Chain A
């Protein structure tokens, strides 16, 4: 008998080898998908959860069901410093889900060999990361629920009362730890008891208890809405792009016990025997079944990802990342591949152009569809990306405005290290050392930032040393000393004051000229013309030359000699060609557009006539000029 058992074990192990190979192949594909297609570090551009090693921070998470998982998820994401690490982490998570699903299916099917089928949820979960809006907490909640499910289905005490007590404790614990995601375990387990094991009372009890627990908890214990109680960490709480895929995963787990129980019915068994003879699937051995299954899974996943791949989203997030890292050339190279447009994208491109010393020479070689809001965004876009907004204002020297948006970011994104650092530094530069210290002390509680925070605290505590710090001196020399008040709008006033404060502020100067170009305020450019000499430009930037030509074309008194000295002959010729085409269409701007676009799309003249937001508005109104 022992020999029989040993032989049975050995044959089972050898039968599992194709399954292991299958899993290996699928998760290698998963790994490669994450690494080369998803670039999961871009997830941090959309979700960058705040995390502090602080007991008060931790206690806040305990106040909502599922908060523990949120905390854990935020903790893990602090280690997401490289693509490779994140890829390994996510692949392991997906593999673990597949493993737990297989173990559960083996119990359901009374120890049958499971292959292919158990990989579906894991592969779909991997796919959901393609839009970067899928929370890690959902995956972790899934894993914990599946783990609990596996534990409680394996243990069946003889006494029903003990079983029920254990079920209650497990479900309450799961709810507290994972939030609404506990319904995965509760409902599946209830179905399992009801349909598969035919323990009707137990099954019904679990289903009813699971469905009522969030309601009771939100009414009596936790201060959360009903929606949050039921849906937190479940796939559909916050809208994600492919929410339907999320539901498919849940339906998979609900349908499986149903299918298994149906398969046990005599009539179904007989008809499946007939069908399997017809399909001859059963004649294939496990190896071939696994191979076929692997092919189906990988090709299905491949098709799904190809159809849903959002290249622009990826590129936009990459640009966010590159901007944050100060890799300006890469920003511009990546931006060329984008086919979408947004004020945030324009803002980052323009910042990169400035940092690369090319703003006034190349600004219109990128679409400037948003006019001046492509330099500094409008309120809604600033609210969408408060950290980026704060960065731009910081670089300009509008410290209060940078502080304003850092505070908005603190409210919207939480105490992330970059926000804490920005707030601390802004208050420190302004001389509000007590306020600065509070932010630096919080920064000390962020993993890996202790040393940085200690250095900043030391600097903050010694104003004399701060006064000698080169970065502080630089910023203080640029920041405004003359107040101006405003209402969240972007105008030239701040930039003009910055230049008045410190004529060396080249960013303020170039942004001001760009602002005038984008708004068509050509007189403004004329007023600041001497500054080009001050900043020692080797030649007048291209688009300023083009603007001068427009000015000269309207002003017959414009000194032609001066114009000739400022504008390149090639630019003048280019302008003449532009005018010739316009003349050809006898001033019909709409008619001339197509021909002008082919040769002059990257000129200031074309921008003024067709791209500027006001021009596009009048074009829509069909004005004839």
Chain B
């Protein structure tokens, strides 16, 4: 057989294949056109319908939770080629390149998803199209979070991870199997970047704050004779100061409803000055008769927002033999002026009192433009993730009005973070089942309105059905963390480069220093 004969045979095969493909696509077209409309939206898992999508998000794979033998999905928008997926399983995994191209060609446009299926009787049916909108405002490229199983008192495996939101890549920042299985938390990034960031390790010889600046990691012991180890942190916009709270948290248990609850017996706020390695405070944020927690800076660095409640003794209920009425503990939203040049404090203000809102306010976070304060409010407590009534609220600083956001569910919605452009928020929600926390994203417009939230997309859309880990403390970052987990772990146990923070005792009063010891005598109704 000559070479020409081979070419001829090959070309016949190619033509045949093309004809078959054409027939299939025509057949598909006909099936879609002839499909009987059912007049409702399809049920898909996760629910990616009616949402606003960031232009740089990874494909939103989903599973069609409708019984059928064959499925056809067509994703299209105003411009560009549509994406068509056909299979028998209903598992829709959208090709990355096609998705990116379609999205990039349609910024600000609607993204429509048409779904048809062949039902058990062999008939093709179609659903109402899913209409989403593509935002023009990108979301930060990475999300960091802590991941572990729902925990009570004991833990074994946990880690802090970073997930790229533009693809499915997830890598560990640090795993606790490198640090003698201790606890790690409070990862926090200066202005959504990874040039300066920190995390806390608790338990064992690695207990410290790991502070990353200028590409180096340092181990800082934040415990002094006046304060315990640092807890919830907040970077000052200058990048030179960190506010953090120091608490005496106690996990206790309920026998009805949600098992877990947390009592804050005593907390104060301190400032850590990175350059001088000094911890300072002021009585207004470490008042012996108040519990101060959850610091957050305004973007101009001139205000420190935080939450404050009366000391625990205030809630002693004489009708209950002096036991603390836990359901009455509510936190106010406060702020105090700060002069970063003079390092001096101004007046303390109550921004929203708990009595006015009727709820306990926690986790305030100021938007990057300084206009809004996003916070969590629940019936009581300062640990809202265990309170099903916890919801997200927003305060407009200009008008001093607050409102409950539309994106809330009937389960705990709490810990949140702003994207660097202030147009996206991520928050922790237990809306699916009341137990497993997942990160949800929502668009936040300049008027303070949010859109329907959607869950962190996964390559396998069915992952969440059986996943036994929770996502905790989601934080946006613009780029990935550059320090390796091995370097972080080495620093955690390095005594050579470890620093012990010094306490500026001039700023401290006797009452403040004695406060950390008095909490042990508090009577709580814990049997």
Query: A residues within 8 Å of B by Cβ?
Result: 54, 56, 218-219, 223-225, 228, 379, 383, 386, 398, 400-401, 403-404, 407-408, 410-412, 415, 427, 432, 434-435, 437-438, 441-442, 445, 480-489, 491, 493-494, 497
Q: Give the Cβ gap from A182 to chain B, nearest Cβ, in Å.
A: 20
Q: Give the Cβ gap from A42 to chain B, nearest Cβ, in Å.
A: 24
- A489 to B175 alpha-carbon distance, docked (Å): 31
A–B pairs, 23, beta carbons within 8 Å: A56-B460, A56-B463, A218-B486, A403-B259, A407-B149, A407-B150, A408-B154, A438-B435, A438-B465, A441-B465, A441-B466, A442-B466, A480-B255, A481-B256, A483-B254, A483-B256, A484-B254, A485-B254, A485-B255, A488-B153, A488-B253, A491-B527, A497-B255
Kindly list chain B residues whose C-beta atoms are within 8 Å of the C-beta of A497. 255
The 3 closest A-B pairs by CB, nearest first: A434-B433, A483-B256, A435-B433
Kindly list chain A residues whose C-beta atoms are within 8 Å of the C-beta of B254. 400, 483-485
Q: Contacting A56 at CB < 8 Å: which of B156, B259, B467?
A: B467
Q: Is the CB of B527 within 8 A of A489?
A: yes
Kindly list chain B residues whose C-beta atoms are within 8 Å of the C-beta of A400. 253-257, 259
Within 8 Å of chain A (Cβ to Cβ): is B396? no
Kindly list chain A residues whose C-beta atoms are within 8 Å of the C-beta of B489. 225
Kindly list chain B residues whose C-beta atoms are within 8 Å of the C-beta of A484. 254-255, 527
Q: Which residue of B lies closest to A219 (CB)?
A: B486
Given contacts A223-B177, A228-B177, A411-B149, contact A486 B156 (CB under 8 A): no
Given contacts A442-B466, A489-B527, A491-B527, contact A408 B433 (CB under 8 A): no
Kindly list chain A residues whose C-beta atoms are within 8 Å of the C-beta of B149. 407, 410-411
Within 8 Å of chain A (Cβ to Cβ): is B525? yes
- A218 to B156 alpha-carbon distance, docked (Å): 20
- A56 to B458 alpha-carbon distance, docked (Å): 12
Q: Which residue of B lies closest to A481 (CB)?
A: B256
Kindly list chain B residues whose C-beta atoms are within 8 Å of the C-beta of A398. 255
Q: Is the CB of A404 within 8 A of B468?
A: no
Q: Is the CB of B468 within 8 A of A483?
A: no
Kindly list chain A residues whose C-beta atoms are within 8 Å of the C-beta of B239. none
Given contacts A398-B255, A410-B468, A483-B257, contact A383 B486 (CB under 8 A): no
Q: Contacting A54 at CB < 8 Å: which of B466, B486, B527?
A: B466
- A547 to B486 alpha-carbon distance, docked (Å): 63
Q: Contacting A224 at CB < 8 Å: which of B150, B178, B256, B433?
A: B178
Given A383-B154, A442-B466, 19 other A-B residues pairs in contact with their CB atoms under 8 A:
A56-B463, A219-B486, A223-B178, A224-B177, A400-B259, A401-B253, A404-B259, A411-B156, A435-B434, A437-B433, A438-B435, A438-B466, A445-B466, A483-B257, A485-B255, A485-B527, A486-B253, A488-B253, A497-B255
Q: Contacting B468 at CB < 8 Å: which of A224, A432, A438?
A: A438
Given contacts A56-B467, A485-B261, A485-B527, contact A438 B433 (CB under 8 A): yes
Q: Contacting B172 at CB < 8 Å: which of A223, A403, A432, A486?
A: A223
Kindly list chain A residues whose C-beta atoms are within 8 Å of the C-beta of B485. 223
Kindly list chain A residues whose C-beta atoms are within 8 Å of the C-beta of B467. 56, 438
The CB with the most chain A CB atoms within 10 A, among B156, B326, B433, is that of: B433
The CB with the most chain A CB atoms within 10 A, among B157, B255, B256, B526, is that of: B255
Q: Give the Cβ gap from B43 to chain A, nearest Cβ, in Å.
A: 15
Kindly list chain A residues whose C-beta atoms are within 8 Å of the C-beta of B406. none
Within 8 Å of chain A (Cβ to Cβ): is B252? yes
Q: Is the CB of A486 within 8 A of B434?
A: no
- A311 to B254 alpha-carbon distance, docked (Å): 41
Within 8 Å of chain A (Cβ to Cβ): is B81? no
- A488 to B154 alpha-carbon distance, docked (Å): 12
Within 8 Å of chain A (Cβ to Cβ): is B151? yes
Query: B residues within 8 Å of A by Cβ?
Result: 149-157, 172, 175, 177-178, 250, 252-257, 259, 261, 326, 432-436, 460, 463, 465-468, 485-486, 489, 525-527
- A223 to B486 alpha-carbon distance, docked (Å): 7
Kindly list chain B residues whose C-beta atoms are within 8 Å of the C-beta of A383. 153-154
Q: Is the CB of A412 within 8 A of B434?
A: no
Kindly list chain B residues whose C-beta atoms are within 8 Å of the C-beta of A435. 433-436
Q: Give the Cβ gap from B61 to chain A, nearest Cβ, in Å.
A: 15
Q: Give the Cβ gap from A352 to chain B, nearest Cβ, in Å.
A: 26
Q: Give the Cβ gap from B268 to chain A, nearest Cβ, in Å.
A: 23
Given contacts A410-B468, A411-B149, A442-B468, contact A487 B435 (CB under 8 A): no
Q: Is the CB of A438 within 8 A of B151?
A: no
- A441 to B464 alpha-carbon distance, docked (Å): 11
Q: Is the interface of B mostly helix, strand, loop or mixed?
A: loop
- A15 to B463 alpha-carbon distance, docked (Å): 60
Q: Is the CB of B252 within 8 A of A486?
A: yes
Kindly list chain A residues whose C-beta atoms are within 8 Å of the C-beta of B255. 398, 400-401, 480, 483-486, 494, 497
- A530 to B190 alpha-carbon distance, docked (Å): 67
Kindly list chain B residues whose C-beta atoms are within 8 Å of the C-beta of A225. 177-178, 489
Q: Which residue of B lies closest to A439 (CB)?
A: B468
Q: Give the Cβ gap from B3 to chain A, nearest Cβ, in Å.
A: 40
Kindly list chain B residues whose C-beta atoms are within 8 Å of the C-beta of A386. 154
Q: Is the CB of B153 within 8 A of A434?
A: no
- A478 to B365 alpha-carbon distance, docked (Å): 44
Kindly list chain B residues whose C-beta atoms are within 8 Å of the C-beta of A480. 255-256
Q: Give the Cβ gap from B488 to chain A, nearest Cβ, in Å.
A: 10
Q: Contacting A411 at CB < 8 Å: which of B154, B175, B253, B466?
A: B154
Q: Is the CB of B250 within 8 A of A412?
A: no
The CB with the most chain B CB atoms within 10 A, among A411, A427, A438, A484, is that of: A411
Q: Give the Cβ gap from A282 to chain B, nearest Cβ, in Å.
A: 55
Q: Give the Cβ gap from A6 to chain B, nearest Cβ, in Å.
A: 54
- A379 to B153 alpha-carbon distance, docked (Å): 10
Given contacts A223-B175, A427-B435, contact A486 B259 (CB under 8 A): no
The CB with the most chain A CB atoms within 10 A, among B149, B157, B468, is that of: B468
Q: Give the Cβ gap from B208 to chain A, nearest Cβ, in Å.
A: 18
Given contacts A434-B434, A435-B433, contact A404 B256 (CB under 8 A): no
Q: Is the CB of A485 within 8 A of B434?
A: no
Q: Give the Cβ gap from B91 to chain A, nearest Cβ, in Å.
A: 13
Kindly list chain A residues whose C-beta atoms are within 8 Å of the C-beta of B259. 400, 403-404, 407
- A432 to B152 alpha-carbon distance, docked (Å): 18
Q: Which residue of B lies closest to A386 (CB)?
A: B154
- A491 to B525 alpha-carbon distance, docked (Å): 13
Q: Contacting A407 at CB < 8 Å: which of B152, B252, B326?
A: B152
Kindly list chain B residues whose C-beta atoms are within 8 Å of the C-beta of A408. 152-154
Kindly list chain B residues whose C-beta atoms are within 8 Å of the C-beta of A445. 466
Q: Give the Cβ gap from B220 to chain A, nearest Cβ, in Å.
A: 23
Q: Which residue of A lies closest to B432 (CB)?
A: A434
Q: Give the Cβ gap from B321 to chain A, nearest Cβ, in Å.
A: 14
Q: Which residue of B lies closest to A410 (CB)?
A: B149
Kindly list chain A residues whose C-beta atoms are within 8 Å of the C-beta of B253. 400-401, 404, 485-488
Q: Give the Cβ gap from B322 to chain A, nearest Cβ, in Å.
A: 16
- A616 to B200 alpha-carbon distance, docked (Å): 44
- A163 to B405 alpha-carbon distance, docked (Å): 68
Q: Is the CB of A486 within 8 A of B486?
A: no
Q: Is the CB of A432 within 8 A of B466?
A: no
Kindly list chain A residues whose C-beta atoms are within 8 Å of the C-beta of B178. 223-225
Kindly list chain B residues whose C-beta atoms are within 8 Å of the C-beta of A489. 526-527
- A435 to B467 alpha-carbon distance, docked (Å): 11
Q: Give the Cβ gap from B457 to chain A, nearest Cβ, in Å.
A: 16
Given contacts A225-B178, A407-B152, A480-B255, contact A485 B526 (CB under 8 A): yes
- A225 to B492 alpha-carbon distance, docked (Å): 13
- A24 to B380 alpha-carbon distance, docked (Å): 72
Kindly list chain A residues whose C-beta atoms are within 8 Å of the C-beta of B468. 410, 415, 438, 442
- A493 to B254 alpha-carbon distance, docked (Å): 13
Kindly list chain A residues whose C-beta atoms are within 8 Å of the C-beta of B172. 223
Q: Which residue of B lies closest to A399 (CB)?
A: B255
Q: Give the Cβ gap from A461 to chain B, nearest Cβ, in Å.
A: 13
The CB with the most chain B CB atoms within 10 A, among A403, A484, A493, is that of: A484
Kindly list chain B residues whose C-beta atoms are within 8 Å of the C-beta of A441. 465-466
Q: Is the CB of B256 within 8 A of A482?
A: yes
Q: Give the Cβ gap from B148 to chain A, nearest Cβ, in Å.
A: 8
- A497 to B486 alpha-carbon distance, docked (Å): 51
Kindly list chain B residues whose C-beta atoms are within 8 Å of the C-beta of A427. 435
